[in-house]
Each structure stands twice: as structure tokens, then as C-alpha cells.
Amino acid sequence: MKAVYPGTFDPMTNGHLDVIKRGLKMFDSLIIGVAINPRKKPLFSAEERIEMIKESIKDLKNVEVKSFDSLLVDFVRKEKSSIILRGLRETSDFPAEFQHAVVNRKLDSEIETVFVMTNAEYFYITSSIVKEVAAYGGEISQFVPNPVEAKLRLKFAK
């Protein structure tokens, strides 16, 4: 069984990596869907985000990274899956994630959303916090995979 793990991943964090590894324990394969949303202004281009993710997961098997600029349910169907994998950091994530799951279910009743709790050590990590700490030259190695740290350092060195 194949699952799709969607997100903007701007940038990928160790919390995302945790969800990917846990997803691989539940599913035969995983597609990381990098969302391209014209309403958001990401720090990194889709190509940069895909590259960082690929470098960060290079030792993992049965994982693909693809971008999408459509409804999530359309991307899931295109990838011949019926499962959306989502990570929950802590309880404040739940209302928005629940809302998305309900809407996706309304759009396609064959698609299920599976939630996994991120390990407690990653509850507080968000991409926004990581970008802010990196922008001020703070220590981020504990929050992101090495390839992401390197790209953040380059981005904010300019």
C-alpha cells in the first residue's frame, strides 16, 4: 500500500523526517508531495525543496519526492493511492488537520487520512521557527537534516 505525505516542506524539518520514517513502517511506499501554492511565498523554490528532501532521505528506500499544484485529492488519485499521511505535533494542530481531512473526504470518499503523532522531541519544531532562527544565525542543526541546514545557511548568508 502506498501513502502520500503532502506539505510545503519550506524547509523540511526533523519532525517531517520522523513522520516519513514512521510512515514507512506502516506503508509499503511513500510519496512525499511538495505542494506548490501560489498564495504562499516560500523561502525556497519547489526545485530547492525537492532537492533538500531527496538529499535528506537518500538512505531511505521506497520513497519518492514529487511536486504538485493541484487539489491534494487529485494528486493522490494521480499517484494511484488512497491514503494521505499527516503528522500531528501537538493538540493545536488537530483542528486544522481535521478540517482538511473532512474536506478531502468530501471531495473523494475513497481517500483516507492517517494521522501519526510526531515524537515528543519534535513537537515544537515548525518550518517557520527554523527559518526565523536561521535568519538570525542561530543554531539549527538540532531541528533539520544536514542538507537543509547547509541550504539555510547559504540562503541567509546573502
CB proximity list for 6: less than 8 A, separation 6 or greater = 32, 33, 35, 68, 72, 75, 84, 86
- Out of 16, 49, 131, 151, pick the active-site residue: 16
- Out of 49, 86, 89, 151, pick the active-site residue: 89
The distance of Cα 37 from the centroid of its chain, to the nearest Å, equals: 14
Beta-sheet pairing, 83-88 with 63-68: unpaired
CA distances from 111 to 36, 102, 155 (A): 21, 10, 37
The C-alpha atoms of residue 19 and residue 157 are separated, in whole angstroms, by 30
The C-alpha cell at 35 is 505542494
Q: What are the φ and ψ backbone dihedral angles of 108, each rounded to 5 degrees? A: -155, 105
- Is 127 marked active-site? yes
- Out of 56, 81, 86, 127, pick the active-site residue: 127
- Is 22 marked active-site? no
- Is 106 marked active-site? no
- Out of 39, 40, 41, 58, pick the active-site residue: 40
CB 94 within 8 A of CB 129: no
Could you list the active site residues? Answer: 16, 40, 89, 127
